[in-house]
Amino acid sequence: MGYFEMSKLALKWALTKPPTTRYPFEPRQPIAGSRGQIVFTKDNCVYCTVCAKKCPTGALVVNRAEKKWVIDRLRCINCGYCAEICPKKSLTMVEGHGSPAVTRDREFH
């Protein structure tokens, strides 16, 4: 490729909006039809442990005695099953993406 053609190409890309986004600095837009993410509402929860027993990936741990509900976001595949079966509607799927999880830290409630 000659110098002129290369300069033309470089100029074109310098003036064109990139096809990618600067995630995580720019929030990701929800994709139409995507499931979203699980949100836990502590007020209704009776710590029955049903969600933890049925979660296909073992992302949830519920401790009835200590009234603790814990999710490992890196394990969760956002299938929404726990939200479907929760008898108290403490779990819901909401549109959008959460903050990116970069460690195995769990979310305690």
- Does the protein bind ligand SF4 through residue 80 (CB under 6 A)? yes
- Examine residue 60 and tell whether it contacts ligand SF4 (CB under 6 A): yes
CB half-sphere exposure, 43, CA atoms < 13 A = 0
Q: Identify the residue among 57, 67, 74, 95 touching ligand SF4 (CB under 6 A).
A: 57
Number of residues that bind ligand SF4 (CB under 6 A): 26
Q: How would you classify residue 41: left for phi > 0, otherwise alpha for psi between -120 and 50, otherwise beta?
A: beta
* Residue matched to tokens 């000659």: 2
Residue among 61, 70, 79, 101 that touches ligand SF4 (CB under 6 A): 79
